[in-house]
Structure 1
Amino acid sequence: MVITCWGSRGSIPVSGKEYIKYGGDTTCMVIHTTSDDIIIVDAGTGIRRLGNHLIEQNRYHYNFLLTHGHWDHLMGFPFFKPLFLSRTEIHMHRAPFHKKFMQSMFSKVMAPPNFPVRYSDLKAKIVWKEGHPAEFTIGSATVVPIPISHPNTGKGYKFIEDGKSFVFITDNELGFVHPGGLPFQNYVDFCRGADLLIHDGEYIPEEYGRLIEWGHSTYTDALELAFQAGVKRLGLFHLNQERTDDQVDAIVAACRSIIAKRGQSLECFAVGRDMTFTL
């Protein structure tokens, strides 16, 4: 599988010379499977550029998964150009959310006075996929969801294909169990042995005390998760909207120092726009 990041910023998009390296778009990830299926995860502002790219590539059939319904993961949806083309077909995988959750979220984004074009005016064919709350397949990939520890709940996902596994868990607070969330050990078990783990690492330890229960993890907790789960690569995600490129680089350097002191071989980096990973 090939994984591409189209946006990794948390909470709100940002711009400016201090955000060039990692980008300012909010969450949007894409997985291309060996069966040539396209899986889009979340519709943050990064999905705007993705839509332009897919049209350039003459690709109009996609699968879509949602981690949760907070604004930064939905705000790009109305600007996804393929939605306005009749040749587009999107398979929306509802599960593991309840039946009308996703329709409600997307229609609210486009409801007056939020947006001038209504959800009902979209030209794309949207197919709502039912069932499979525990494990399901999209082409050659197996998808396994897990509850996240975050206000209003949500899901992380594991993608398994050809003996390789990619785990994507954003907006997950490892230091606090929210209603519907899970204890730390459950995430360790879920991530165990992953070839690539991309996990929320928004906060630095010094600021976490005043931000506990906001739904995000420190980079040190994400690193500890990677250690205990024995993953091969860790990408820090949901980069804070105030965190400059230099500050993100400092976090990565701190992680690499901890890894070296513990004698581990883990590869750690911060996830930025347009990064691509092949498993």
Structure 2
Amino acid sequence: MAPHASTIAEKVSRALFAANGRSFASEAAARAFVEGELEFAVGKTYGGATSCVEIDLGAGPFVICDMGSGLREFGLDSLRRCNAEGRPQEYHFFLSHLHWDHIMGFPFFVPAFLAGAKIVIHAGHADAEEALRRQQEEISFPVPFDWLKADIAFRTLETGREYRIGRLDVSLIEQHHSHSSYGYRFRDDRGKVAVYSTDSEHKIDLMHGEADVVGFFEAADLVVCDTMYSLADTVSMKEDWGHSSNIVAVDLCHAARAQRLALFHHEPTYSDADIQRMYRETIRYEELTRDDAPLEVICAHDGLCIEV
């Protein structure tokens, strides 16, 4: 969701107030003020693109988790990198599930329209192709799926197995969500591990049954985890909605001895200030509950890059 005009006006007003009459000799000086002195929720935005995360190996095929609205921008950037770096136009997607916010970017993914591009769509759902074709039916979109020129293949993955895909070992786990969702664990040739786990509900009063999740997160260098709601929301009016809280994510990562947690899949109705407040509360909760090495907590935003 794009920022509302009133939201932009509020940010500009707060930034001007924070400047307190200061003048800037150049646009670069003003940008330095924004970058160095304004809090994130004032000077920037967490963004509104729906789920789309790249696992960037630096060379070779592209690896992407989910096809949310962020996929449009990624597609354009990937073509730039192909031209500049000589990377192949080969894309491996890993779908958490098939709800519209996680596949809506694919009709706007420019490489899918290019002859010579190769796209492999990996999913735990056997009906992934049906879902993608359905959203490009004439009633919903002007370009039919069959008009796409890329070489597109679908591959159904199974839990309990490990797959070698390019330079990655990949496994998946089924999660609690409508029509099921799947989390993915990626391990590269250096032994670095990143976990992508969104749209999964972990209930605070049933944590004794989460041993499989803890094992899946075990010693991960980075866990990108669904933290859509506050704990209060998950145990009250939004129970059984298929999403989790920042508190549960910290508990799972502590139990798994993960190194970093990225708060992800923010509640669309939260303002940047709300998300920033939850982020600070999460950091404080992690400090109060850790009994071993610290867990670094990061708050995901559009364009964020994390080196593992």
- The TM-score range, normalised by the shorter chain, is 0.7 to 0.9
Matches of 2:69 and 2:154 in 1, distance apart? 23
| Cα shift at 1:127 | 2.6
Q: Which runs of 5+ in 1 are unaligned?
A: 1-12
Structure 1 counterpart of 2:142: 116
In 1, are the aligned partners of 2:129 and 2:154 still within 8 Å (CA)? no
Residue 41 of structure 1 pairs with residue 70 of structure 2: no
- Look up the match of 1:192: 218
Higher strand residue share = 1
- Residue matched to 1:216: 243
Aligned to 1:135: 162
Which deviates more from structure 2 when the two are superposed, residues 239-248 or residues 85-94?
85-94
Pairs within 5 Å for 1:15-34: 15-16=3-4, 17=8, 20-33=44-57
Aligned residue type for 1:202: M
Alignment partner, residue 57 of structure 1: 81
- What TM-score does the superposition give when structure 2 sets the normalisation length? 0.79
Task: Look up the SS of the partner of 1:51 in the other structure.
Answer: helix
Q: Which amino acid aligns with 1:97?
A: H
Aligned-pair distance for 1:37? Answer: 2.6
Return the letter of the residue paired with 1:73. H
Spell out the pairing of 1:98-247 with structure 2 (5 A cutoff): 98=126, 101-129=127-155, 133=159, 134-161=161-188, 162-175=190-203, 183-208=209-234, 209-247=236-274
- Residue 84 of structure 1 corresponds to which residue in structure 2? 113
Quick check: which one's helix share is greater? 2
Letter in structure 1 aligned against 2:239:
I
Asked if structure 2 preserves the Cα contact closer than 8 Å seen for 1:26 and 1:72, the reply is: yes
Partner of 1:8: none
**What's the secondary structure of 1:146's corresponding residue?**
strand
| Alignment deviations for residues 75-125 of structure 1 (CA, whole Å, 9 cap, x no partner) | 11101111111121112224x322xx1110110110121001100111111
Give the alignment's TM-score, normalised by structure 1.
0.87
Identical-residue share of aligned pairs (%): 29
Task: Report the residue type matching 1:64 in the other structure.
Answer: F
Please give the secondary structure, in 2, of the residue aligned with 1:69.
coil
* 1:247–1:85 Cα change, 3 Å: same
Write the mapping of 1:261-276 to structure 2, written as runs, cut at 5 A: 261-263=288-290, 265-276=294-305
State which structure, 1 or 2, has the greater radius of gyration over its C-alpha atoms: 2
- Comparing 83-92 and 231-240, the one that deviates more: 83-92
Per-residue CA deviations over 1:118-143 (Å, capped at 9, x if unaligned) read 00111111133466652101111100
Amino acid at match of 1:169: S
Given that residues 67 and 105 in structure 2 are in contact (C-alpha distance below 8 angstroms), is that contact kept between their aligned partners in structure 1? Answer: yes
Give 2:187's aligned amino acid.
Answer: I
1-side partners of 2:247 and 2:76: how far apart?
36
Partner secondary structure for residue 75 of structure 1: coil
How many residue pairs get matched? 261
- Please provide the CA RMSD for this pair: 2.1
> In the TM superposition, what whole-angstrom CA distance separates every residue of 1:144-168 from its partner, at most 9, and x where no partner exists?
1000111110210000011111011
